[in-house]
Amino acid sequence: MKAIVNVYLKNGVLDPQGKAVHHALGSLGFLGVKDVRIGKQIVLELEATDEQKAREEVQEMSETLLANTVIEDFNIEIV
């Protein structure tokens, strides 16, 4: 079973990397982009066979290590 964790900055948290990419896109002629936010994606290969148990475990991993919950939000997809 595979889990995908998408981690991204909370609304209101400054994203200087996103601003730099937004500026660069504009410089390259991509003018239709309103905003850019940069995040990260973590893909975990799990031994678990029960989807609910896997989700709970990945939730705990995310809150403990994978995301800084003070400034980041995350979502989990089990595939």
Residue 27 has a pLDDT of: 98
Residue 4 has a pLDDT of: 98
pLDDT per position as a tens digit, 58-74: 999 999 999 999 999 99
pLDDT per position as a tens digit, 8-47: 999 999 999 999 999 999 999 999 999 999 999 999 999 9
Residue 39 has a pLDDT of: 98
Q: Locate the domains of the chain by residue range.
A: 2-78
pTM across the whole model: 0.89
Q: How far is CA 48 from CA 8, 54, 64, in A?
A: 26, 6, 19
Alpha-carbon dihedral sign for residues 38, 42, 43, 49: negative
CATH fold label, 2-78: Mth169; Chain: A , (3.30.1280)
